[in-house]
């Protein structure tokens, strides 16, 4: 029985590599982004992608949904979008002389919230219940969302015209915030060749079913993490809240608020996923260090002094990783 479980695990790990390969048929590069999207999918964590327009954020999520056998909806966030456009509303049926529920696009497995910060806070807040409770309330009725349910949101940098900063409560509900950077010269050359060829069309195969996803989640849950590494995660998060206690005196002047308890939870989950992707059944310190910037960069709030001195959350996180040691 144990051998059957090991064989299934290896099959799933091979399928994950095939998923990345299939997405690569359409999207050039961006393996890092795809890896982070899969971490979110397999650990029930929502992902926020940030980058300037034109970096294939939407195309990547679109392609990934085609490789996964899941119901997918894309919602374009605009300044005039209303909460009812997202979750649905009550409409009057003249034939029945009664009100009935018209469900919105939020009722899907994969939600692409495209340019989520182009809508005001009241619309962004409509996502909160769905992201945290996996339910939606319309009128007096609460509906369970189908599982798996994952919000993949893209946003443009907040200094661009026509953007609204996301509420802190919503940002904290994203497991990872992934910064999408420009492609390399070779990658952009390949992008240009593909997109300049108007007959280019790449078909992708469906690689994972819902059952596969649920099985992979169970396998990731069984990845072990030692007590010392669990405590290491706690120390990393507490260093963002009380940096002086960890000898981070220079960094302390720039941090207004540290990371929430969700950072500890998500560091644990994401590190297990990375270990599983690397075909290990145990977490290494390198797994935690690799994912820490994506888990914590949106949970550390810096003050105006940091902005004036050009200090970024990434620099703060690197200082914390360099300073905090694993206790034996």
Which residue in 120, 123, 100, 115 sits closest to 57, CA to CA?
115
Mean pLDDT across the stretch 70-89?
A: 84
Res 240: pLDDT: 93
Mean pLDDT across the stretch 213-227?
A: 91
Res 160: pLDDT: 57
Strand partners, 75: 113
Which residue in 204, 205, 188 sits closest to 26, CA to CA?
204
Question: How many Å apart are CA 26 and CA 5, to the nearest integer?
Answer: 33
Res 294: pLDDT: 94
| Peptide bond between residue 148 and the one before it cis (omega within 30 degrees of 0) | yes
* Other Cβ atoms closer than 10 A to 221: 12
Res 158: pLDDT: 59
Q: Which of 12-26, 95-109, 149-163 has the lowest mean pLDDT?
A: 149-163
Res 328: pLDDT: 67
Res 162: pLDDT: 60
Strand residues in 108-233 grouped as ranges (E): 110-114, 135-138, 141-144, 150-155, 174-179
DSSP conformation class of 178 = E
118-166 pLDDT, tens digit each = 887 777 777 877 888 888 888 777 888 888 888 888 887 755 556 677 7
Strand partners, 246: none
Res 154: pLDDT: 83
Contact 42, 213 (CB under 8 A): yes
Strand residues in the chain grouped as ranges (E): 46-50, 72-76, 88-93, 98-103, 110-114, 135-138, 141-144, 150-155, 174-179, 255-257, 301-302
Q: How far is CA 71 from CA 115, 150, 192, in A?
A: 20, 11, 31
Domains of the chain: 2-213 (3.40.50.300), 223-323 (1.10.8.80)
Confidence of residue 232 (pLDDT cuts 50, 70, 90): very high
Burial category of 318 from C-beta neighbours within 10 Å (exposed 0-12, middle 13-18, buried 19 and up) = middle
Q: Which of 19-23, 195-199, 210-214, 237-241 has the lowest mean pLDDT?
A: 195-199
Mean pLDDT across the stretch 268-293?
A: 93
287-300 pLDDT, tens digit each = 999 999 999 999 98
Question: How many Å apart are CA 57 and CA 83, to the nearest integer?
Answer: 24
Return mean pLDDT, the chain. 84
pTM (predicted TM-score): 0.86
Res 168: pLDDT: 78
253-266 pLDDT, tens digit each = 888 888 999 999 99
Confidence of residue 175 (pLDDT cuts 50, 70, 90): very high
């Amino acid at each position: 029985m144990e051998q059957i479980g090991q064989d299934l695990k290896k099959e799933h790990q091979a399928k994950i590599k095939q998923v990345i390969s299939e997405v690569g048929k359409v999207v050039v590069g961006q393996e890092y982004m795809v890896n982070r999207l899969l971490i979110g999918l397999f650990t029930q964590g929502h992902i926020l992608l940030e980058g300037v327009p034109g970096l294939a954020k939407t195309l990547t999520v679109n392609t990934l949904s085609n490789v996964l056998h899941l119901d997918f909806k894309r919602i374009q966030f605009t300044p005039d979008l209303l909460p009812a456009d997202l979750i649905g509303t009550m409409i009057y049926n003249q034939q029945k002389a009664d009100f009935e529920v018209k469900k919105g696009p939020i009722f899907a497995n994969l939600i692409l919230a495209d340019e989520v910060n182009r809508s005001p806070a009241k619309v962004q807040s409509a996502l909160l219940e769905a992201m945290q409770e996996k339910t939606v309330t319309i009128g007096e009725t609460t509906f369970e969302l189908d599982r798996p349910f994952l919000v993949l949101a893209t946003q443009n940098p907040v200094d661009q015209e026509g953007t609204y900063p996301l509420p802190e409560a919503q940002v904290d509900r994203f497991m990872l915030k992934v910064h999408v950077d420009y492609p390399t010269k070779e990658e952009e050359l390949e992008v240009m060749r593909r997109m300049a060829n108007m007959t280019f069309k790449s078909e992708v195969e469906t690689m994972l079913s819902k059952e596969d996803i649920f099985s992979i989640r169970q396998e990731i849950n069984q990845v072990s993490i030692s007590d010392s590494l669990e405590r290491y995660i706690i120390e990393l998060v507490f260093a963002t809240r009380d940096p002086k206690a960890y000898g981070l005196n220079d960094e302390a002047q720039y941090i207004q608020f540290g990371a929430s308890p969700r950072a500890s939870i998500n560091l644990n989950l994401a590190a297990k996923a990375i270990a599983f992707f690397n075909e290990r059944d145990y977490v290494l310190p390198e797994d935690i260090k690799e994912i820490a910037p994506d888990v914590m960069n949106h949970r550390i709030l810096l003050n105006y002094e940091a902005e004036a001195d050009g200090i970024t959350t990434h620099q703060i996180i690197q200082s914390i990783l360099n300073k905090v040691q694993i206790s034996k």
